Amino acid sequence: MGKKRKDLTGRRCGRLIILKSKRERNHIFCYCTCDCDSGTNKRLVHKIKEYQIKEMGRKSCGCLRGDKPSEYGSTYLGEMPNYITLQKKWDSYWNKCYNSKQNCDYSKKGIIMCSEWADKKDGALLFYAWAIKRDFEDGDRIKRIDKSLGYFPENCMVVKKQSNNALMKKQFIAKGKNITDRIDKTHRYDQINVFHNSKVNIQYLTAR
């Protein structure tokens, strides 16, 4: 009792990437993509009971030997709530960071994505899983807390559409303080640097 459930959202298990976990009646279901689909919006999202992944070691939609197809059906990735919106956001961030034709100075400033989000194949999926877990809804925005740092989970937040300015400022300051404190206190800049691998961030961190 009281044992905290390990959430699989945003994790990879074999060929599966878990986009969302949801309790429905007596079961927790995972909504997952499988590597056997092509990387488009026509990719399928399979509904699979969480315990099959956690306890029975299921690693695919059913395409691997030993895994039965899900009896709970599937839907297209592009039809998942807010997927298209978040994919477009991811696309624009990715282009700002890595597309040299964009005339954007992000890459020069060392503003990049963590390796998981930067990945062409899985990045948008992992970014989606991150945002959905933080209750992203239509009209919400994604904000970088420290503008001198790039796109990675600790430096991004979902700003609710409904937030009034005062509340937003409060959220923002709290989050910003949190990330700065954490970096200052623990000097875990090497951990942050794994995400960044850029000189800019070392300078930022040592300057404080």
Residue type, 148: S
Within residues 72-131, the interface with Zn ion by CB under 5 A covers none
Q: Is residue 61 within the footprint of Zn ion (CB under 5 A)?
A: yes
**Closest by Cα among 86, 104, 83 to 95:** 104
Q: Is residue 36 within the footprint of Zn ion (CB under 5 A)?
A: yes
Q: Is residue 18 within the footprint of Zn ion (CB under 5 A)?
A: no
Q: Is residue 63 within the footprint of Zn ion (CB under 5 A)?
A: yes
Closer to Zn ion by Cβ: residue 36 or 84: 36
Q: Is residue 70 within the footprint of Zn ion (CB under 5 A)?
A: no
Q: Angle at CA 132, nearest 5°, toward 131 and 135?
A: 95
Question: How far apart, in whole angstroms, are the C-alpha atoms of residue 125 and residue 39?
Answer: 10
Question: How far apart, in whole angstroms, are the C-alpha atoms of residue 202 and residue 208?
Answer: 10
Closer to Zn ion by Cβ: residue 60 or 74: 60
Q: Is residue 69 within the footprint of Zn ion (CB under 5 A)?
A: no
- Residue 36 CB, nearest distance to Zn ion (Å)? 3
Cβ count near 169 (within 10 Å):
11
Cβ count near 90 (within 10 Å):
21
Q: Is residue 42 within the footprint of Zn ion (CB under 5 A)?
A: no
- Residue 183 CB, nearest distance to Zn ion (Å)? 40
Using DSSP, state whether 161 is helix, strand or coil. coil
Residue type, 58: R
Q: Is residue 45 within the footprint of Zn ion (CB under 5 A)?
A: no
- Residue 61 CB, nearest distance to Zn ion (Å)? 4
CB 58 within 8 Å of CB 16: yes
Closer to Zn ion by Cβ: residue 59 or 89: 59
Stretch that binds Zn ion, among 19-27, 56-64, 140-148, 194-202 (CB under 5 A): 56-64
- Residue 179 CB, nearest distance to Zn ion (Å)? 37
Cβ count near 109 (within 10 Å):
15
Binding residues for Zn ion, per CB under 5 A? Answer: 34, 36, 60-61, 63
